Structure 1
Amino acid sequence: MRDFARSDDASVQAQLDRLARLSVPDGRLGLETIRALLERLGNPHRRLPPVFHVAGTNGKGSTCAFLRAMLEAQGYKVHVTTSPHLVRYNERIRVAGDLITDARLADLLAEVLDAGEDLKPSFFEVTVAAAFTEFARVPADACVVEVGLGGRFDATNVLEPDVLAACGIAALGIDHERFLLAPEQGVPELPLARIAFEKAGIAKLGCPLVTLDYPQPAQREIEATAARNGSPLVTRGREWSMSTSTTGLHYADGHGEVSLPLPALPGPHQPENAALAVAMLRHQERVGMTLDALATGICQAQWPARLQRLSPGPLTRDRELWLDGGHNPSAGDSLGRHFAGQRLHLVIGMLDAKDPAAIVKPLRAAIASISVVPVPGHDWHSPEAFGSGVPLAEDVPSALSALPDDGLPVLIAGSLYLAGEVLKLNGELPD
């Protein structure tokens, strides 16, 4: 799947066009290409500030957002690389707190693409190499790095113990089956156990691996991988715990009990992601943290297109409009819990490789109507995939205009690519 990056800056677009021509040969797995590329760039991944490396099926991006906000609340300069971008490719590379500028991005991508042209790297390998190259050059106090896909063979997994402060694994679920469940000898056969095996591949010698609690087959794989890699395992329910009440988030570990505010990010799953970030910060020794910084970060973290209520703008007008890029069963379950007991109109666009039931089924009791929209630049599910009589709208503005003026909220969901288009239309560019 290409990411179809676009830029209004001609010099950046010239490099993004080069990126778009890259492809990964079928069956190529491993870290050899990214390591060769980084070697030509001077191995910048070995000269990073303390790194917090986060994997997971759902919640890893939110966990990264909490980590960044908490570290910045402590007064630290923080590099961040996450994926995918929503509107601009620049969102993938945040340098000491700010999105990389167009002028710097154009030169950086040209440098990396020129260095690795004969290696035939992937879009994501070039992106990771570019991020690490810039992070090694610009002073900062910490790095937050989100795994792109899986963990074991993800390009970010070139990170070595010397630069790592802590690794974390957020919620697990079934997604990207073509890649993460591909047949291979010597790997777990149960799907969720295989997913856990792949995510736990980020564990490194001597670096804490901080996790949630998972079904037993998945938990066993994480424990085995952590032991095999020499990574101290820090698991919810054993080394740390969390609970919520109407008054806040209650966290406890071997260092003591703390009371924190509930996250400002909406959704029943966000306290768990915030607690995972807290646990990662409290079980490492590379950067100092105060309770005040943890509390401030929980309240200030932002993560666009994940249960985001859109601000007044060209799309919203007078409607309550929600946006979520979730596209797998775990994301659907979170949406179902958030909108339980409510009625809403669903505007959905999903890639044709995703299961429509993943989003629609958990929301079934809440849905007053469904409208289908295309996902710009991608192959998407037709209305028939969502039931008989479901209408197709030309685009999101058309879908919204066709809805009755009944005061019900509207949820736009199904794809992060669609979410990026919605943010652009409403004038809410991630910064």
Structure 2
Amino acid sequence: MTENTPATASALETALAQLSALHPKKIDLGLSRIERVLSTLGDPHKKLPPTVHIAGTNGKGSTVAMLRAMAEADGLKAHVYTSPHLVHFRERIVVASEEISDTQLLDVIARVQTANDGQPLSFFEATTAAAFLAFAETPADICIIEVGLGGRYDATNVIENPAVVGITPVDLDHAEFLGRDIAGIGREKAGIMKPYCPAAVGPQRDAVRAVMEAAGNKNNITPLFWGQDFRTYRQHGRLVYENGNSLMDLPLPALIGEHQIKNAGLAITLARHMQISDRAIERGLETVSWPARLQNLTTGPYADLVAESGGELWLDGGHNPHAALALASAMAELESETPRPLILVTGILANKDIGGFLDAFQGLASAVIGVTIPGHAALAPETLIELARARFTTGYVASNLTAAVQLAINTGEGLSRQTVDEPIIPPRILICGSLYLAGEVLSAQ
């Protein structure tokens, strides 16, 4: 890959801004625009290596990360497409197991713009077309594609013949686009299923599972379901994977949280379908990394602040109630091992269910510090704290992340003792509520 420079980074920023101006809507679900552009480009999406297509509400990124780690542990080169990014856009496109360079990305974006000829094309559609172009022109052994939003009408769903599809747990999110009917949302996610293409499905509500079964019948397939056809569970500090005819004794995934046990089950099922070796599956679980998913921060300016106090700092980008429940469960597990006051530093987009997100932490978190998210349509911290105080009694607004972390330290220390004679217990601080907020944190690392 060509070395990235300040000049190429600046040119890339300009090119991405130009893509944003091609369509008035940030999100406009549908396939006609991207199909037109891909056709002009010579249909690169039809020239990909064997492809795994993954949809769902929560756990997509973690499942992709585990599957990628397993594939690479088997010596395979992987194309990977995910969204959104945390710090810089290039994170979204991994070409043959290397993050795309500024130079290559500039090249494929320019060719997408030429093919589009100034017609309406959403930012995600344009960048998806660019990713497919880069993938088609670079040899690799496997392609792992994460759906952006929904499934049926997501730009990635131009993929016609995936080797296998995976669907992670489905829940309410992006209600302005997908609505609040959980079965309907499941139907949209199931839209990535293709005729005679194998499918594996993570844990689902009954209504969603019924929709997935119906979608399978329509496509002449019998999806494999977590809990019926395969399952994973923790036993004696290990991960046990079972399906109808085998059992695997594996290490626990490097990603923390009980929900990652279930995500691992889906990733293993997909990996086995792709004929990735058992040894590589084991190694992938041990080495997988996925930033801002229950990440324990030990370096950087915010971590340094917390370390001075003797506390812990955690980061997670989950932003809906289902993700919050998984996150709260993980925090409760940490609390049972080492009790500390839990202080949330939270910023969240205005279109999210902040009440549902905070509900997951009732009885667990001691206080909430509200922050805004620069450059994004975040809920006003003052409004967030009004909602938080109804649940936790203690809540404050901070002007920026540094102030928020320091306030969390002070608040946690104050709440840890009833009298001045008692010892201070340093807090456990969790920065959460948005991947964009997580990106702000990681940008300062």
Note if 1:277 corresponds to 2:267.
yes
- 1:143 maps to 143
Give the drift of 1:237: 2.7
Give the drift of 1:354: 1.1
Indicate if the aligned counterparts of 2:239 and 2:249 stay in contact, CA closer than 8 A: yes
Give the drift of 1:407: 1.0
The gaps in structure 2 that reach 5 residues or longer are 1-5, 414-424
Indicate if the aligned counterparts of 1:207 and 1:232 stay in contact, CA closer than 8 A: no
In 2, Cα distance between equivalents of 1:131 and 1:175? 25
- 1:187 maps to none
Residue number among 356, 361, 364 corresponding to 1:358 in the alignment = 356
Indicate if the aligned counterparts of 1:76 and 1:141 stay in contact, CA closer than 8 A: yes
Q: Which amino acid aligns with 1:332?
A: A
- 1:192 maps to 182
In 2, Cα distance between equivalents of 1:26 and 1:79? 25
- 1:418 maps to 437
**Pairwise CA RMSD of aligned residues?**
1.9
Please identify, of 405-414 and 36-45, the stretch whose mean Cα deviation from structure 2 is larger.
405-414
Select the structure that is richer in helix.
2
Indicate if the aligned counterparts of 2:26 and 2:123 stay in contact, CA closer than 8 A: no
In 1, Cα distance between equivalents of 2:259 and 2:44? 35
Query: 1:52-71 CA deviation, whole Å, 9 max, x = no partner?
Result: 11111000110000110000
Matches within 5 A, 1:234-245: 234-245=224-235
- 1:62 maps to 62
Give the drift of 1:25: 5.2
Note if 1:399 corresponds to 2:404.
yes
Residue number among 240, 246, 249 corresponding to 1:250 in the alignment = 240
Matches within 5 A, 1:331-410: 331-340=323-332, 341=335, 342=339, 343-382=341-380, 383-387=382-386, 388=389, 390-402=395-407, 403-404=409-410, 405=413, 406-410=425-429
Give the drift of 1:24: 5.1
Give the drift of 1:41: 0.8
Residue number among 301, 304, 323 corresponding to 2:291 in the alignment = 304
Give the drift of 1:380: 1.7
In 2, Cα distance between equivalents of 1:82 and 1:44? 18
Cα distance change of structure 1 residues 313 and 28 upon mapping to structure 2, 3 Å threshold: closer
**Could you tell me the TM-score, scaled by structure 2's length?**
0.88
SS in 2 for 1:125: helix
Query: 1:290-330 CA deviation, whole Å, 9 max, x = no partner?
Result: 11100000111111111111122211111411011111011
Indicate if the aligned counterparts of 2:370 and 2:384 stay in contact, CA closer than 8 A: no
- 1:316 maps to 303
Give every structure 1 segment of 4 or more consecutive aligned residues whose post-TM-superposition deviation is greater than 3 Å: 24-29
Cα distance change of structure 1 residues 40 and 349 upon mapping to structure 2, 3 Å threshold: same
In 1, Cα distance between equivalents of 2:107 and 2:26? 30
- 1:185 maps to none
In 1, Cα distance between equivalents of 2:78 and 2:166? 17
Note if 1:233 corresponds to 2:220.
no
Give the drift of 1:239: 2.1
Larger Rg: 2
Indicate if the aligned counterparts of 1:339 and 1:363 stay in contact, CA closer than 8 A: no
- 1:291 maps to 278
Identity percentage of aligned residues: 41
Query: 1:14-42 CA deviation, whole Å, 9 max, x = no partner?
Result: 20110222335599542111111110111
The gaps in structure 1 that reach 5 residues or longer are 1-5, 182-189
In 1, Cα distance between equivalents of 2:226 and 2:367? 39
Please identify, of 190-199 and 63-72, the stretch whose mean Cα deviation from structure 2 is larger.
190-199
Please identify, of 254-263 and 321-330, the stretch whose mean Cα deviation from structure 2 is larger.
254-263
SS in 2 for 1:339: helix
In 1, Cα distance between equivalents of 2:124 and 2:197? 25
Indicate if the aligned counterparts of 1:212 and 1:236 stay in contact, CA closer than 8 A: yes
- 1:15 maps to 15
Indicate if the aligned counterparts of 1:37 and 1:119 stay in contact, CA closer than 8 A: no
**Could you tell me the TM-score, scaled by structure 1's length?**
0.91
- 2:417 maps to none
Q: Which amino acid aligns with 1:380?
A: A
Please identify, of 305-314 and 21-30, the stretch whose mean Cα deviation from structure 2 is larger.
21-30
Residue number among 303, 315, 330 corresponding to 2:322 in the alignment = 330
Query: 1:57-96 CA deviation, whole Å, 9 max, x = no partner?
Result: 0001100001100000000000000000011000010011
